[in-house]
């Protein structure tokens, strides 16, 4: 859905959820006629006819399929959004200004207060802190006020019919049909985002099937209605499944010593906080960081930006969305809702984010110079950061792994 409100959902570069094994089927090649007619209602109807026997073979009843697909329509806006999502280019500081704005923090405190009893019982049952669950709720749907108005069946059918990621979205469409067959909701009530994420905390259908819970005990796993209890509990269940550790922070902002070895700022290098402290890494807020677990140092804005000591819970939030900006947004919003202060360090605010084409160019040039990024996909993840760091070290630059425009210009020089 189009987001115009500053409190709207924020999902940068979301990682595709993997459909559960029960929802995965091997789709035979579509008839040439159906493929040739992509981009229209007529083409989608032809695709649905070809999809129907596969869905029935996967266990969907005829009446459920026919009722669900009767009002499905091709949505060109969904395709436009899918094609343009790779152009998401916000710096982390710009993203955080919205994700952890004063308004979102205030609304988060109010939302937690309004659902305190429910969130406390969820925390007790699943061992996931109520502030983290509230923060995800805040970033995914602005605490339930922007749950999405797109017709999920039409969105997923359009994306499954489209050639770009048809197998993934066909699995998600089967997931929706299974949800309807279970009776948790109706086709009319099943609304969400343009890509099929649904409800208060924006579950993809496969994640819903694998992790949603009936916390209210009414016999339905209702993540769509006005009562957020099932959605919030489902989010906690999801995080618990992927290894959330109660009492362990997602991360802590730290200061680095003047002689810090930036080659140590890698997700691959982990030490106990006490060992990092021996090397001069200290919390910005003062005091010391308990040895919750081994942690690594993350520099999302390079040597001139804030530094974070991140723990295994950081990777758990990544299962919800793999973008570092999102994980930091959730973690910091949770901290602020819980009464902690803002990020202390500033950012390199004179920089702008690289465009999609520039990120492709950066990866291509790095790889050509022998600093292999493994993939040319415009995603500046750990592999690309490691390649950037290796290039910086070879050229006598500060090896902070920061993919800036200055770095790209240096790469262009060879």
pLDDT for res 414: 83
Residue written as token pair 């680095």: 256
Cβ within 8 Å of residue 406, ≥6 positions away: 351
In a domain, residue 401? The reply is yes
Structural domain for 363, as ranges = 356-413
Q: Mark whether 37 is an active-site residue.
A: no
Residue written as token pair 């207060």: 113
Nearest partner of 298 among 240, 250, 355, judged by Cα: 250
From the DSSP assignment, how many helices (H) and strands (E) are in the chain? 18, 6
Cα angle for residues 224, 319, 123 (degrees, 5° grid): 60
pLDDT digits (tens, 9 = 90+) for 329-357: 999 999 999 999 999 999 999 999 999 99
d(CA 335, CA 266): 24
Q: pTM value?
A: 0.90
User: Which candidate in 7, 129, 131, 140 is catalytic?
Assistant: 140
Number of domains comprising the chain: 2
d(CA 10, CA 134): 14
DSSP code string of 12-51? TTPPPPPPPGGG---PPPPPHHHHHT-SSHHHHHHHHHHH
**Left, alpha or beta for 371 (phi > 0: left; psi -120 to 50: alpha)?**
beta
CA dihedral (376, 379, 380, 383) positive or negative: negative
d(CA 329, CA 332): 5
In a domain, residue 47? The reply is yes
Cβ within 8 Å of residue 349, ≥6 positions away: 91, 93
Task: Report how far apart, in Å, the C-alpha atoms of 41 and of each of 73, 161, 238 are.
Answer: 6, 11, 36
In a domain, residue 123? The reply is no
d(CA 125, CA 145): 26
pLDDT in tens, the chain (414 residues): 333 344 556 654 443 333 332 222 222 223 333 333 358 999 999 999 999 999 999 999 999 999 999 999 999 999 998 877 644 578 999 999 999 999 999 999 999 999 999 999 999 999 999 999 999 999 999 999 999 999 999 999 999 999 889 999 999 999 999 999 999 999 999 999 999 999 999 999 999 999 999 999 999 999 999 999 999 999 999 999 999 999 999 999 999 999 999 999 999 999 999 999 999 999 999 999 999 999 999 999 999 999 999 999 999 999 999 999 999 999 999 999 999 999 999 999 999 999 999 999 999 999 999 999 999 999 898 999 999 999 999 999 999 999 999 999 999 998
Q: What is the 3-state secondary structure (H, E, C) of 112-159?
A: HHHCHHHHHHHHHHHCCCHHHHHHHHHHHHCCCCCCCCEEHHHHHHHH
Q: Are 385 and 401 in contact (CB under 8 A)?
A: yes
> How crowded is residue 81: how many other Cβ atoms within 10 Å of its Cβ?
18
Residue where a domain stops, chosen among 166, 201, 236: 201
Q: Show the beta-strand stretches assigned E in 163-316.
A: 191-192, 251-255, 282-283, 296-298, 307-310
In a domain, residue 48? The reply is yes
In a domain, residue 25? The reply is yes
DSSP-H helix ranges across 242-381: 273-278, 312-318, 324-337, 356-368
Residue where a domain stops, chosen among 201, 226, 244: 201
Residue where a domain stops, chosen among 163, 181, 201: 201
- Token digits for 411? 């790469």
pLDDT for res 11: 57
In a domain, residue 179? The reply is yes
The CATH number of whichever domain residue 381 belongs to comes to: 1.10.101
The CATH number of whichever domain residue 26 belongs to comes to: 1.10.8.350
pLDDT digits (tens, 9 = 90+) for 246-295: 999 999 999 999 999 999 999 999 999 999 999 999 999 999 999 999 99
d(CA 297, CA 342): 19
In a domain, residue 137? The reply is no
In a domain, residue 156? The reply is yes
């Amino acid at each position: 859905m189009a987001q115009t409100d500053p409190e709207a959902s924020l999902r940068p570069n979301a990682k595709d959820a993997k459909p559960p094994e029960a929802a995965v089927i091997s789709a035979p090649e579509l008839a040439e006629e159906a493929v040739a007619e992509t981009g229209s209602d007529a083409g989608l109807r032809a695709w649905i006819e070809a999809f129907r026997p596969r869905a029935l073979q996967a266990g969907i009843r005829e009446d459920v399929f026919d009722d669900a697909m009767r009002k499905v329509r091709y949505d060109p806006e969904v395709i436009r959004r899918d094609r343009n999502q790779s152009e998401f280019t916000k710096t982390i500081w710009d993203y955080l200004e919205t994700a952890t704005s004063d308004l979102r923090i205030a609304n988060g405190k109010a939302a937690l207060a309004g659902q305190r009893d429910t969130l406390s019982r969820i925390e007790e049952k699943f061992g996931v802190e109520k502030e983290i669950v509230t923060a995800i709720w805040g970033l995914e749907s602005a605490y339930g006020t922007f749950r999405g108005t797109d017709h999920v069946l039409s969105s997923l059918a359009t994306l499954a019919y489209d050639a770009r990621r048809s197998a993934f979205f066909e699995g998600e469409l089967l997931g929706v049909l299974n949800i309807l067959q279970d009776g948790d909701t109706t086709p009319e009530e099943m609304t969400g985002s343009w890509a099929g994420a649904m409800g208060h905390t924006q579950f993809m259908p496969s994640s819903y099937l694998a992790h949603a819970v009936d916390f209210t005990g009414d016999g339905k796993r209702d993540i769509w209605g006005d009562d957020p209890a099932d959605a919030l509990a489902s989010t906690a269940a999801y995080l618990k499944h992927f290894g959330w550790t109660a009492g362990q922070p997602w991360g802590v902002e730290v200061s680095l010593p003047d002689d810090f070895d930036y080659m140590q700022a890698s997700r691959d290098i982990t030490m106990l906080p006490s060992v990092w402290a021996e090397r001069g890494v200290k919390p910005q807020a003062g005091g010391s960081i308990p040895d919750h677990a081994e942690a690594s140092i993350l520099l999302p804005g390079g040597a001139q930006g804030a530094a974070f000591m991140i723990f295994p819970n950081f990777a758990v939030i990544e299962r919800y969305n793999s973008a570092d900006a999102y994980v930091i947004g959730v973690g910091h919003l949770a901290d602020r809702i819980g009464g902690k202060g803002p990020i202390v360090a500033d950012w390199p605010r004179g920089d702008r984010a690289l465009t999609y084409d520039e990120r492709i160019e950066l990866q291509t040039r790095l790889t050509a110079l022998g600093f292999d990024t493994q993939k040319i996909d415009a995603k500046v993840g750990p592999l690309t950061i490691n390649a950037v760091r290796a290039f910086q070290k070879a050229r006598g630059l500060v090896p902070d792994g920061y993919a800036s425009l200055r770095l790209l210009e240096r790469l262009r020089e060879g």
